[in-house]
Amino acid sequence: MAEKILVTGATGFVGSALVKELYRRNKKEVRAAFHSGTLTSQLKTYSSEQIRLEFGDFSTIDRAFQEVSTLFLVTPFAREQVEYAKRMIDRALLFGVEHIVDLSILGAEQEPGTQFTRWHRRIEKYLENCGVAYTIIRPNIYMQNFLRYAQPSGGFIYLPLNHAQVSYIDVTDVAAVAAELIIAGKEHYGAVYELTGPQALTVDDVTHIISSAVGSHIGYIPIQEETACHIMESLGIPAWMAKGMLELYSMQREGKNEMVTSTVELLCNRKPISFEEFVYNNSNLFKEIIQHEQQIHPR
Ligand SMILES: NC(=O)c1ccc[n+]([C@@H]2O[C@H](COP(=O)([O-])OP(=O)(O)OC[C@H]3O[C@@H](n4cnc5c(N)ncnc54)[C@H](OP(=O)(O)O)[C@@H]3O)[C@@H](O)[C@H]2O)c1
């Protein structure tokens, strides 16, 4: 009987945390799908199988779906995002998958929304009508972005967020909820969950927390959209993606990402991870990033 869990995006933020969490919860039949990235030893340790999956290639999709009963669907920020998701949902139906847990985004239902939230809503609607049982999670902005996209540079974080408050969430909590939904299955069919961290913070708050945890001063410089656009361009981010990111920042400035929900606590029976805990748990990574930056831009 098919009973494998297929975790897509298993090298990404939530996917990698989910593979680890499923292992911790004794779910051993986990197929971790990786894409371009290299397989980490962590992924090999925590999943029973690893498979290369390219959403643009049907043969890799069909291999990945063999004997799968549950799909955790992560689709990337890509122009083809909706097309990829629909393709995965169609194949899930064909292969007799019983349950799809879809990683969406907070604000997906808002009108008119932003490019990225609208794409997620289109995926959600397709899922709602596809004939496979589903559960949707809509997390807020990840704390982990401060380790990747929004990391300190030359002692400062530059973002077009003014003093917007955002209830950032740790991907560990998103993964803990996803694992619970996968394991509990039926009782969550058809549900949509909005996931946030425990409190709404400004980037000023964030930099204070990072500074005191790593013992090095990190500041915040609010920037205009135009400057953010130039920075993204210099980093090689394509114009369509930069436009989408600017819309997400604008949504945050409008206060649409400051709500705090109790969903993580209700589903996981524990408090969500605070920003202080997140920084503490990743203090070595933050220290590495800051030391590296100080070598490039000595103060
Ligand atoms: N970042 C946030 O704050 C946030 C908040 C809420 C919701 N979300 C949602 O989370 C999703 C992931 O976004 P993210 O930026 O956070 O990315 P991420 O964690 O890096 O996850 C994306 C994953 O998709 C894989 N992937 C990319 N292209 C693929 C392809 N063609 N075929 C198969 N796999 C592919 C990536 O593998 P490779 O790295 O190997 O290409 C990666 O493992 C998005 O739908 C986003 O809207 C993000």
Which tens digit of pLDDT belongs to each residue from 81-107? 999 999 999 999 999 999 999 999 999
55, 88 contact by CB (below 8 A): yes
pLDDT at residue 151 is higher than 90: no
pLDDT value of position 1: 61
Give the length of the chain. 299
CA distance 185 to 149: 33
List the beta strands (DSSP E) in 145-263. Answer: 156-159, 192-195, 219-222
pLDDT at residue 299 is higher than 70: no
> Which atom of ligand 1 is found nearest the CA of 80?
31
Segment 164-176 shows an average pLDDT of 98
Cα 73 to ligand 1 centre (Å):
10
Average pLDDT of the chain to the nearest whole number: 96
pLDDT at residue 152 is higher than 90: no
195, 261 contact by CB (below 8 A): yes
Tokens of 250: 């604008």
CA distance 213 to 235: 28
- Give the global pTM: 0.97
> Which atom of ligand 1 is found nearest the CA of 11?
43
Q: Phi and psi of 138, rounded to 5°?
A: -120, 90
Percent of the chain with pLDDT over 90: 91
Cα 297 to ligand 1 centre (Å):
30
Structural Rg of the chain based on CA atoms: 19
* Pairing of β 49-52 and β 192-195: unpaired
152-175 burial, b at 16+ Cβ within 10 Å, e below that, comes to bbebbbbbbbeebbbbbbbbbbbb
Chain segment 201-220, per-residue pLDDT in tens: 999 999 999 999 999 999 99
List ligand 1's pocket residues with C-beta within 6 A.
Answer: 9, 11-15, 35-37, 53-56, 74-78, 103, 105, 116, 139, 141-142, 145
Cα 295 to ligand 1 centre (Å):
30
Cα 298 to ligand 1 centre (Å):
33
Tokens of 221: 């410089």
The CATH homologous superfamily to which domain 4-141+169-195 belongs is NAD(P)-binding Rossmann-like Domain (3.40.50.720)
Segment 109-137 shows an average pLDDT of 97
Cα 299 to ligand 1 centre (Å):
34
Q: Residue 39 burial (CB < 10 Å; 0-12/13-18/19+)?
A: middle
Q: Please, which pLDDT band fits residue 292 given cuts at 50, 70 and 90?
A: confident
- Mutation test residue for ligand 1: of 16, 75, 80, the one with most atoms within 8 Å of CB: 75
